[in-house]
Amino acid sequence: MTGSSRTDLSLDQLCVAALRTLSMDAVQQARSGHPGAPMGMAPLAYCLWQEVLRYDPCDPCWPDRDRFVLSAGHASALLYSLIHLAGVRAVDGEGKPPGAPAVSLDDLKRFRQLGSVTPGHPEFRLTSGVETTTGPLGQGLGVSVGMAMARQWLAARFNKPGFTLFSHDVYALCGDGCMMEGLSSEAGSLAGHLKLSNLCWIYDSNRITIEGSTDLAFSESVPDRFRGLGWNVIRVADANDLVSVLQALRSFKKTADRPTLIVAESHIGFGAPNKVDTASAHGEPLGDDEIRLAKAAYGWPQDSKFLVPEEVTGHFSQGLGRRGRELSEAWSGALQSYRSAYPELGKELDMMLSRGLPQGWDRDIPAFPADAKGLATREASGKVLNAVAKAVPWLVGGSADLAPSTKTLITGGGDFQAESPSGRNIRFGIREHAMAAALNGLSHSGLRPYGSTFLNFLDYCRPSIRLAALMELPTVYIFTHDSIGVGEDGPTHQPIEQLAGMRAMPGLLVLRPADANETAEAWRVLMPLRRRPAVLVLSRQALPTIDRTRYAPASGLAKGAYVLADAEGGKPEVIIMATGSEVAPCLAAYEALKKEGVRSRVVSMPSWELFEEADEAYKRSVLPPEVTARVSVEAGSPLGWERYVGLAGRSIAMRTFGASAPARDLEAKFGFTAENIASTARDMVRGKSA
């Protein structure tokens, strides 16, 4: 490999120019996009893919492939151009290649257009070769940490003498924006602590953001920051110098005790003979005239569009393609031998990678006896989690320094640390944002991860949860301390709006169980999910364990909502519906109303999403349209409950923040008592009669 030159187009330089010009042409054709970063990072991306990456374009789901994460997702044109030139094949829903190109030349011409596989930012599942959805800056970095952690865990679990099934590395390309986001520091700190030597971040240090020079708002020394976080830091003075780039990548490969940050100095839109306007280079097409000048500077035909010389695709095929094919075929052969040598581990690996579950995985989930005192649903969840963990070895996770409170420790699972990567308990530290992003990386790698914190800190996790829903990843989030029942900790810790916010997120399954047995059923529902994230919302305070000999079985949770207690002797006059900790006082109100001769029905609604997915006949059987006297009870925002109570109904809910006081005092103040619920239901019936 030789250094760069503007006049002598070597084969390497021809490939780099092809990457640049395809990216420019795609953005210009769309009249939308970011050409600067793809132009500046094309040499480095080419060098990584062609010379270093362990990746088979014909089998882009090969489990031991190196991962390339484009954290700077606005540079998507670069990734699509790489996928096209490398000959990556599309895969179906089961990860099997049907043979078609993942990104054709026509796909590049339809960049950012409706229905294309080349959207404005890379989207996992939509485009083969895209390892994770990126766009929100820094997210790709957090995900890459989870991917690197997964590799370490997989190697510790499955590698055996003579069988190195997992040895891949994880690369993430990021920019100044990623480095400014706090997530980069959280994720970098975690990676440094865990000494993830298989993780390499490549920092495109071009000192430009949308507003202009980074000097306007960013003056720290990024290399010094990462040295302090325990990283190996390598500087490449010119991102166009392929020799220096390759040396840096090889230095990373030799580093065995820490993650690596390669700081690559570049100029956005580098190569154009005139100084390109910052905003145009970063966030807008260059324009036809500027593109012609840039192509001339690259030694490229000025009037060509979407030109791909045959030598370029042939070169990629002989480099990345041949190397990747040999590696993946060797791996597949080793896996066959591994299955013979270690049949149980082989079955486990196959099941994990296919998102399956062992037969009888839920056999040991406990059933909880009726108990007026009961226990907190976080306590019940901890018991269920440990029962499931015994049957599903790849269930791993932890908390943001709150495991004693969220009850998320796997007993005997060991801690995941640099010296013990087989541990199943991950100590994320007080890094909620990095935890949520890393969970997605773990999920991408086939593990079944969960993470936990208090519900009011959901906001620190929300960007990653949103991406999990967008990517259809079966990540599990466990949020405890779910209401004003937190009590004396006060309004800073009492979630009011969080349930409504999560329910507004497409594709996210929210489960707020009413007691221990509903909690057990919630785990039965969420564990088989293959393409959907789930949120388990749990109480800190003890909740009565409902007597299921008197009331309906907890298995009704699977339908999202079910009739827990029904009117005797005729149709209900009023329907009372609730979730979580508010179900028990509704049952008490039901009993009081029954003594008065008021026919009421109590509906437990642990999951709106599951209820909405039920057939119309079932929904009408639970909430008969003719019964318009309805009351909802939930210690959160009433937003959304109007769907179920109707215009004539009432919602006992939180319309202000909470307060610092014992939980019982708060329940009385805000109306979450059996007496107030019964009074409200009684008023509804009287109003109807009148």
The CATH number of the domain holding residue 248 is 3.40.50.970
User: Is 201 in contact with 178 (CB distance < 8 Å)?
Assistant: no
Residues 6+ apart with CB under 8 A from 161: none
User: Is 376 in contact with 539 (CB distance < 8 Å)?
Assistant: yes
Angle at which helices 377-391 and 516-526 cross, to 10°:
40
User: Is 277 in contact with 289 (CB distance < 8 Å)?
Assistant: no
Domain assignment of residue 413, yes or no = yes
Average pLDDT over residues 325-343: 97
Predicted local confidence at residue 280, as pLDDT:
39
Would you name the residues annotated as active-site residues? 432
Residues 6+ apart with CB under 8 A from 40: 204, 206, 239, 266, 267, 268, 269, 270
Predicted local confidence at residue 275, as pLDDT:
37
- Phi and psi of 228, rounded to 5°? -65, -25
Distance CA 156, CA 417 (A): 12
Distance CA 587, CA 521 (A): 20
* Whether residue 228 is found in the same domain as residue 257: yes
* Whether residue 48 is found in the same domain as residue 117: yes
* Whether residue 116 is found in the same domain as residue 242: yes
**Can you give the length of the chain in residues?**
690
Our count of domains for the chain comes to: 3
pLDDT of residue 97 exceeding 80: no
User: Is 111 in contact with 118 (CB distance < 8 Å)?
Assistant: yes
| Sheet arrangement for strand 67-70 | 67-70, 170-175, 199-205, 260-265, 232-236
Q: What is the DSSP letter of 662?
A: -
Q: C-alpha 389: how far from its chain's center?
A: 21
Boundary of a domain, candidates 518, 544, 570: 544
Residues 6+ apart with CB under 8 A from 419: none
Q: C-alpha 600: how far from its chain's center?
A: 41
**602-611 core/surface letters (b: 16 or more CB in 10 A; e: else):** bbbbbbbbbb
pLDDT of residue 689 exceeding 50: no
Task: Give the pLDDT confidence of 381-415 residue by residue, as tens digits.
Answer: 999 999 999 999 999 999 999 999 999 999 999 99
Task: Give the pLDDT confidence of 217-269 residue by residue, as tens digits.
Answer: 888 999 999 999 999 999 999 999 999 999 999 999 999 999 999 999 987 54
Enclosing domain of residue 649: 556-689
3-state secondary structure (DSSP) of residue 424: coil
Give CA angle at 444 (439, 449), nearest 5°.
35
The CATH number of the domain holding residue 589 is 3.40.50.920
Q: What is the pTM of this model?
A: 0.94
Task: Give the pLDDT confidence of 513-565 residue by residue, as tens digits.
Answer: 999 999 999 999 999 999 999 999 999 999 999 999 999 999 999 999 999 99
* Whether residue 560 is found in the same domain as residue 503: no
Domain assignment of residue 343, yes or no = no
* Whether residue 56 is found in the same domain as residue 99: yes
Boundary of a domain, candidates 259, 294, 328: 328
* Whether residue 66 is found in the same domain as residue 145: yes
Boundary of a domain, candidates 494, 520, 544: 544
Question: Could you tell me the two tokens for 485?
Answer: 């029942």
